[in-house]
Structure 1
Amino acid sequence: MQLKRFHWRIGLPFAILVALSLLALAIYFASVLKSNYLESLRSRLENEGHLVAMYVAQQPNTAGDPAALRALAVRQGEILDARLTFVDRQGVVLADSLHDPTGMENHLYRPEVQQALARGTGYAIRRSATISYDMLYVAVVSPELPDMIVRLAVPMSQVQADINRMHTQLGVAALIALLLVFGLAYLVTQSALRPIYHLTDAVKRMSAGELGVRVFSNEQDEIGELTKSFNLLGDSLRSTISSYEHERDRLSGLVENLVDGILIVDDGGTVRLVNPAAGRLLGRDDAINPGMALAAAVPPQVVALWRQSRDGQHESRDLLDLERASRFCQVVATPLAGSEARSTLIIVQDLTDLHRLETIRRDFTSNISHELRTPLAALKMLSETLKEGALNDPVAAHRFVDQIDMQVDSLTQMVEELLELARIESGRVPLNLMCVSVENILTPVINQLTRTAERAEIALTTEIEPGLPAIMADAGRMQRAITNLVHNGIKFTRPGGRVTVRALAQGEEAVRIEVCDTGIGINPEMIERIFERFYTADPSRAGGAGLGLSIVRHIVAAHHGTVEVQSTPNVGTCFAVILPVATTP
């Protein structure tokens, strides 16, 4: 039953697709047949109109005799199986094969007559005002009979009957083709699935225990490959033992390449299995080999943990600070269930990075607490002073309120910098990257800090190399980074000094933005730490939370750039931001 459904899932969509294609073709050809038939009919009537005009022109007496012209119209209309009408150029009906012309109205403004007078040939499908049913009209003005319009007409019911007959023939042909397609689809699908039927039967026999059953196929397609795979599966069932050995070797390779250290120790304290990571994590200069005594291979803390697990038959774990290996490791000793030799599995995990991150977290908590304590203590002191009577002194109260406002601004700036740094480090803030010139980044920064530099009696200058290539950057965040560097330069430069912002090309693929000052400089041993959070090279002059350079480093790194720093104490400092140029798409 499942295979039958699969049979229909394969054949039916194909047949439906072909059927829809045939239907679309039938509709298209029906439209084409109708258009071609109407065009052919119009052309035939036009030619017949010219022939009638030539015939009348050859009999001059007929054109001037209404009775003779009427008789000719009736006779020719029967021959041509069409209504024949003669109209003069003023629209007067001279003769008609079906009606008395004296009772017919003027035809000058009939569409086909107007077209014939204008172009020599007219064509229209409309309802006849005389006989009250739809007709197809063709009117001609022949050079042989220029003073008379010959009009032929056939009923649209007759035209539609002819079209319907052609459509019926087309539909019958399409139906026959559809039946042939369905039959062909069934035969092709049946032929394609026959090997699968054989495979299904063979699988059932194999599941019943006939492991030697095989399926033979001469096909070179995917079914043939499936048959070969089935036969190979039968052969592999007889190779179970070798597959077990392969799995053992694979497991051994996995253990060898684990980043965690693995040791299996028997009840006597002899190492039975060990991987290279164990010796590396435990600080061994040489490898630990199977057969070695555990006490001679690992630090005493690990031996003690093994004994605790062996004697208590429970999992034991401890965090070890292995000074010899400069690592902080977690060691877990677990008795192996079902082991006759009471073996113990020892896992050594390197937690050095986690320990370092925990240390950073504690330092961060300590630093932020310290940085928040100072403005909060100042706010507390100012508020107590106001409560003790300073509110009654307007001058003093105004001064204290200004100081409170300054401390609140300091706290707000610190919180904003912390939030900005957290967002940048987490990558939750997408960069609004665009192709921007270096000058458009530096100009707003210089304009913003010029007044600050003037108040500090610092000369702030810029040097931008002409023709610098554009960079791909988030202009706002890159301006924030450069602002931090320029602000630091002003802050750590004595009055009368200079801060220079310089932009120049570094090779063909990078732009170098330098912020150099003639300030107090940085001691060499402090340079490696200046990008840490809350670190300040000179706390007495910092006046901030020490987050500016950390923000600079993360913003530049997010732009795939680097930050370099060179400094000489009492001479000055130069920070360089190196950014890749924008690539041409």
Structure 2
Amino acid sequence: MTGALAAVRGYVNARLGRRLLLVLVAVLSTVSLCFLALVIVIYRGQLIEDHARASLEVNHLLQATLENAMLKRDIPGLRQVVDRLGEQDGIAAVMILDPKGEVRFSSRKAELGQIVRDRQIATALENRRPETAFVTGADGSDWLRSVNPVANKPACKECHGTAAENPVNGLLVVDYDAAGIRRNALRTAGLLGFSGLLVILASGIGIWIAMDRLVLGRISQLRCASQDLAAGVLGARAPVQGNDEIGTCAATFNQMASRIETMLDHVATAERALQAIIDSIPDGVRVIDDAFTIVRANDAYCRQVGQPKSRVIGERCYRSSHGRQEPCPQTLTTCPVVALRDASRRTVKFTDAHRARDGAQLFVEVSAARADVPLQQGMTHCVVESIRDLSQAVDLSQKHRLSEIGLLATGVAHEIHNPLSSIELALSAIRESLVDGSVPRTHMDYIEIARTEIGKCLSVTEGLMRLSEPPRDAELVALERTLPEVMSLLAFQFEQAAIRCDLDIEDGLRVLASDSDLRMIAVNLAQNSIHAMPGGGHFGIDGRRAGASVVLRFADTGTGIPAEDLDRIFLPFWTRRADGSTGRGLGLSICKAIVERYRGTIGVASTPGEGTEFTVRLPAADAGEA
């Protein structure tokens, strides 16, 4: 029962129209019932009054008959009148009582001689006025009793004494059957109730139609517009009908909807501007909430992980960048989301290895900071990560390194090369000014030796200056000239390390590249070989033409590279030297970046304990002519 009532209550409360209809029916029903009760009471009183008036008329007639019979001493005639009147329709009984309430005459013979005492008889006797009221008989039947006192008159003095001694000779009592009266009352009440029901129904329908058109229908339109607006239909508007309260509310709603649409347009524009700004940042950027969910990312980060932005946003950070199914273990790697939960830390910086969609590893430098970011659920504590691709940092490091060497080479050029050139010119002038035979032959030989050594110094400084040049546009580089110059710069290191250096470069090998880049490749690979042969050995460079490519092989007889390290030697900042010295771990990364810049390849083959060979393949400059 309780569940049914709850269901009905929920059904009614779900719509304003149902609640109004229920209230309307309840109010009209209450008013109608009250009105019906009032009408019944009034009608019942009026009915009693009418019957009382009629009974009084009968009593007056009976009283006149009684007085006439008493004056004539016609007792049988009086009894006959009482009996006949008691037989009339609607009359239950007719009685004549003496002042003491004894029944002297009655249409019901069983009541003769009985004493009748009730409130109406006592009141009529006391007030000497007629009384009419509903009473219940001894058998339980309802009567409308009319009591009329018969006043003492001078003609009755002989039997009843004076009026002063006995003001009332007797009481005429007529009992009408109340069942018929009640039936009439109920019938009339039923007619009134049915009429009232029709009035309620007609009034309810009329009020409902008016309310639906003037109130509920317009409110329903306003509700539909608000639901559309809440669902994201920014163009939803409510029809404005009239200037009343509902019309004003609809107009205000439309103004609010227009302002919301304008504000959301501004927010969307700001969002696009913010996204464009972070997309223009070359480093990867992503914003992570406290539940490890990526809420924002830029194009650079999407390129780093090889995934579209629609897949990155909403993804867990550890799944997006590390391919994990659960958060990164804190004992093995740094998680900025966890690390920055410590309120004393505002930023964190570390290096990490991300995994792209194709499985390739990407070594990155991550800088993270805490920030409160406005999201749909409100201000949220987030971590903003700036992710720098270290393979791009290799190019920057190379440029920085070459810039430093370039500054050194510039200083050497000014401090050594130019004075040596002046000395060489002075010796040439002295040599030309001397007349043959004017000085001893040995002196002339000394001058030639000095000029030869100065020429060697000039060649060394020129090679160093070429090595320090920053990367330029591709140019035609002759390898049979460039590589020997580079090796001459390292001749002292080879000699100190007891390493024999051999070059076998095929004539006419040329490539389109930067001369300084090729010198950098040769220097890095040669220095790696020196470190790999701490006890001395052999280093050689072999250059050959192979179809449309130029193949350079840099081989040594050093300690070799373990097989498990071959996949890591080209990674930035990875270093392991056989002679125990420390390095920056960028040499091979630089070489790989340079070779790939010119659409070439670099590979390695190594046998531990026997040696290592690096193979560099570059497109030949005259490949098109061949």
> Normalising by the residue count of structure 2, what TM-score does the alignment of the two structures yield?
0.35
- Rg larger in structure: 2
**Structure 1-normalised TM-score?**
0.37
